[in-house]
């Protein structure tokens, strides 16, 4: 591949890793996916495998090797401070012939850069977690939330899923309204819906004890997997589900307001905003009402943005056209 | 000890175990304490040690041995169904000479029986968790809450502690009111209060990131340890802390209403009700307003009640006088 500059953008998430091998004009010449690339959440060994699986695929597609790569930008939550703890991935990269520069980048900056090239703007993610950033001068200038499932992530998929579980528990316990979420959540938790309302040993519905047992048997963060059921129930006009999604959207807007200062493009990502519903609607209404309206750009990962950051780090200018080419060249999903 | 009937009441909790060796007329002739006696939360090996430490002490004080014991009632959360899975404790008891009858009992029934002998009444516990039961015919006829920290325990110590952490996070994040809880919670989490409000890397207060890191480093249920700080702040008239405790009290009353059906004595236990504050006040007001007023009796464990249940299981009648004697004979704490 000799004289063509190649960079690697790696979006290393807690669930999956995406690698984009790109040229200076934004051609995606290779793309690959791997498992978790976050050493904090998954351990160094798994994260290294995730990154090398994705990178290896991207290189194979292009018939390139690590020696051809000028720079690598790795977007990863909690690792945007750069320097220091990069030996877990830099050492094996060097062993396999990588001679370029490695930069760690904010996962939120990569997400923003997947949708906008303006040096000033906003990134909003609402998936399992929720957070917002203001980008200024091409860096993260202010951040809000992203404080985790136990104490933050207001309006996130976890927040929505926990509210759904609560609504069902409250109905079965007799302190909450009847909701269409109940059969949906019972079914998702593997609890028989038929007979769930029958009184058990202590007078409470049999389904309550079974649901509690099923939900405590999994990691708390798995409550986020109930969020799609809330969208389903809201589409069927269930008032409890509608209320949960409206409130989630309000909280998300509140998080955005914490970093908002002037106008700029808005890039949105994450499973909750990917779906049509109150959170995305309230987000759009909020920015439509704000001075100097910008459309909300939806992106499905930070992969293109990681490549953008790798190009910028290598001194290659990135404009709308380069970004559009990158986005068009990256397979969906 | 020959001809005097002796029974053992064991209150096997998740943190500590209490054993009471009692005669038929309610004399406490031995008392002992051990670590956790709950095999579900602590594992069989630790739980067995906890029970035998407590039982061993109680027997030593009286110069008795297991062969002298007619019956043993073991109060333990989630084990009130009796039968089946008791070999973890029955086998070693038999090996050490126990020839009497072993009964598992509801921890909430033991708590109730520590404060009342009436066959109909109410037990309310608010410690790390929260639950209420209606006792009828000397058994638990209805139960409410006790659904755990993630999905239930409304108004409990965990609920209060999590609200406190949220209030502090919200203040530092800029979405919540200023509260006296902030310095208290930061200090308790080992985060320097001086300079906590200074802006950090992403523009947010340094104290926020440090607090989040400290709180996520511990098990979620440890948030319950913040509850006493909410009482402290409420005593100093902090509106946020007062609001948390009022709401906790309302939720606890709501839980009680789920099992309430006619009047009877009310026995209350747990660290949140042991302390003067809104939850206990609202509980007292609720029952004072109810038809056929009974005073709320506070108890500090289910130890006396476990002995009461052991006596009843052995066919010995227990009246007010026997219970009073038992309670007087058990050391505090």
Tens of pLDDT along B3-29? 579 999 999 988 889 999 999 999 999
Q: How confident is the model at residue A333 (pLDDT cuts 50, 70, 90)?
A: low
Does the residue B146 lie in any domain? Answer: yes
The arithmetic mean of pLDDT across residues A267-277, rounded, is 95
B146 and B94 within one domain: no
Q: What is the C-alpha R_g of chain B?
A: 22
Question: What strands, in cross-sheet order, belong to the sheet with B266-269?
Answer: B139-145, B130-136, B121-126, B266-269, B296-298
Q: What local confidence, expressed as pLDDT, does residue A263 receive?
A: 87
Q: What is the DSSP string of B256-303?
A: HHHH--S---EEEESHHHHSSSHHHHHHHHHHHHSSS--PEEE-S-SH
- Residue B249's domain spans which residues? 118-298
Partners of A174 on chain B (C-beta within 8 Å) are: 258
Q: Are the Cβ atoms of B212 and A148 closer than 8 angstroms?
A: yes
Q: Are the Cβ atoms of B202 and A140 closer than 8 angstroms?
A: yes
A201 Cβ under 8 Å from any chain B Cβ: yes
B158 and B77 within one domain: no
A166: nearest CA partner in chain B: B151
Does the residue A93 lie in any domain? Answer: yes
CB B246 within 8 A of CB B278: yes
A97 and A133 within one domain: no
- CA A279 → CA A50, A91, A127, A156, A223, distances in Å? 31, 42, 11, 9, 18
Q: Are the Cβ atoms of B173 and A144 closer than 8 angstroms?
A: yes
- A200, two tokens: 């058990």
B69 and B126 within one domain: no
What residues have CB less than 8 Å from A265, skipping those under 6 apart? Answer: A115, A116, A118, A121, A122, A294, A295, A297
Cβ-based neighbour number of residue B162 at 10 Å: 23
A43 and A147 within one domain: no
> Quick one: which of B117, B114, B51 has its CA closest to B79?
B51
A81 and A10 within one domain: yes
pLDDT single digits (tens) A32-51: 999 988 887 788 899 999 99
The arithmetic mean of pLDDT across residues B259-269, rounded, is 92
Q: Which residues 89-118 in chain B show a CB within 8 A of chain A?
A: none
B58 Cβ under 8 Å from any chain A Cβ: no
Q: How confident is the model at residue A79 (pLDDT cuts 50, 70, 90)?
A: low
Q: What local confidence, expressed as pLDDT, does residue B42 receive?
A: 80
Q: What local confidence, expressed as pLDDT, does residue A161 receive?
A: 97
Does the residue B1 lie in any domain? Answer: no
Does the residue A34 lie in any domain? Answer: yes
List the single residue in A142, A166, A173 with the smallest CB-CB distance to B258: A173
Q: With DSSP H G I counted as helix, E B as strand and the rest as coil, what are the percentages for chain A, rounded to 5?
A: 45, 20, 35
B264 and B127 within one domain: yes
What residues have CB less than 8 Å from A315, skipping those under 6 apart? Answer: none
In DSSP terms, A140 is beta-bridged to A135
Q: Are the Cβ atoms of B204 and A143 closer than 8 angstroms?
A: yes
B152 and B123 within one domain: yes
Q: Is A16 helix (H, G, I), strand (E, B) or coil?
A: coil
Does the residue B74 lie in any domain? Answer: yes
Q: In the predicted model, what is the mean pLDDT of chain B?
A: 92
B190 and B97 within one domain: no
Q: What is the DSSP string of A102-162?
A: EEEE-HHHHHHHTT---SSEEEEEESSSEEEEEEETTEEEEEEE---TTT--TTSHHHHHH
A30 and A91 within one domain: yes
Long-range CB contacts (< 8 A, 24+ apart) of B206-214? B207/B172, B208/A147, B208/B169, B208/B172, B208/B173, B210/B186, B211/B165, B211/B168, B211/B169, B211/B172, B211/B185, B211/B186, B212/A147, B212/A148, B212/A151, B212/A152, B212/B169, B214/B189, B214/B190
Does the residue B152 lie in any domain? Answer: yes
User: What are the DSSP E strand ranges found in B61-215?
Assistant: 69-75, 101-105, 121-126, 130-136, 139-145
- B261, two tokens: 């059906």
Enclosing H/E stretch for A11: strand A6-12
| CB contact burial A130-161 (16+ within 10 A = b; e otherwise) | bbbbbbeebebebbbbbbbbbbbbbbbbbbbb
Q: What local confidence, expressed as pLDDT, does residue B200 receive?
A: 82
- B146, two tokens: 């006790």
Q: With DSSP H G I counted as helix, E B as strand and the rest as coil, what are the percentages for chain B, rounded to 5?
A: 45, 20, 35
Does the residue A199 lie in any domain? Answer: no
Q: Are the Cβ atoms of A258 and B174 closer than 8 angstroms?
A: yes
Q: Is the pLDDT of residue A145 over 50?
A: yes
- A229, two tokens: 């059921």
A141: nearest CA partner in chain B: B202
Q: Is the pLDDT of residue B295 over 90?
A: no
CB A26 within 8 A of CB A318: yes
Q: Is the pLDDT of residue A315 over 50?
A: yes
A220 Cβ under 8 Å from any chain B Cβ: yes
Chains A, B: CB pairs < 8 Å: 81
B286 and B179 within one domain: yes
- Mutation target for A interface from B159, B166, B181, B203: give the one with most A CBs within 10 A: B203
Q: How confident is the model at residue B83 (pLDDT cuts 50, 70, 90)?
A: very low
Report how far residue A81's alpha carbon sits from residue A24's, in angstroms, rounded to the nearest whole number: 25
B273 and B124 within one domain: yes
Whichever domain contains B44, its CATH number is 3.30.420.40
Task: Say how many domains are in chain B.
Answer: 2
The arithmetic mean of pLDDT across residues B94-120, rounded, is 94
> What is Dmax (Cα atoms) for chain B?
76
Does the residue B128 lie in any domain? Answer: yes
């Amino acid at each position: 591949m000799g004289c063509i500059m190649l960079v690697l953008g790696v979006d290393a998430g807690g669930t999956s890793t995406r690698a984009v091998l790109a040229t200076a004009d934004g051609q995606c010449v290779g793309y690959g996916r791997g498992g978790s690339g976050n050493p904090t959440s998954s351990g160094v060994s798994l994260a290294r495998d995730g990154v090398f699986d994705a990178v290896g695929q991207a290189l194979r597609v292009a018939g390139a090797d690590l020696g051809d790569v000028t720079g690598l930008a790795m977007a990863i939550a909690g690792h945007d401070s750069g320097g220091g703890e990069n030996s877990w991935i830099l050492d094996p990269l060097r062993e396999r012939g990588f001679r370029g520069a490695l930069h760690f980048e904010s996962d939120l900056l990569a997400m923003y850069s997947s949708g906008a090239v303006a040096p000033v703007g906003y990134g909003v993610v609402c998936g399992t977690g929720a957070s917002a950033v203001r980008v200024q001068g091409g860096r993260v200038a202010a951040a809000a939330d992203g404080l985790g499932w136990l104490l933050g992530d207001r309006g996130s998929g976890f927040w929505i899923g926990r509210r759904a579980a609560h609504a069902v528990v409250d109905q079965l316990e007799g302190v909450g309204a009847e909701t269409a979420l109940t059969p949906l959540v019972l079914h998702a938790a593997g609890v028989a819906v038929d007979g769930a309302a029958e009184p058990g040993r202590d007078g409470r519905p049999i389904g309550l004890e079974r649901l509690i047992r099923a939900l405590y048997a999994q990691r708390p963060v798995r409550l986020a997997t109930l969020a799609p059921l809330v969208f389903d129930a809201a589409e069927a006009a269930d008032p409890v589900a509608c209320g949960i999604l409206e409130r989630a959207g309000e909280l998300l807007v509140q998080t955005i307001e914490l970093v908002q200062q002037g106008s700029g493009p808005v890039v949105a990502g994450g499973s909750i905003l990917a779906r049509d519903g109150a959170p995305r609607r309230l987000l759009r209404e909020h920015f439509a009402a704000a001075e100097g309206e910008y459309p909300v750009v939806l992106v499905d990962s930070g992969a293109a943005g990681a490549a953008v950051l790798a190009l910028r780090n290598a001194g290659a200018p990135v404009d709308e056209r380069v970004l559009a080419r990158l986005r068009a060249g990256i397979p969906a999903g």
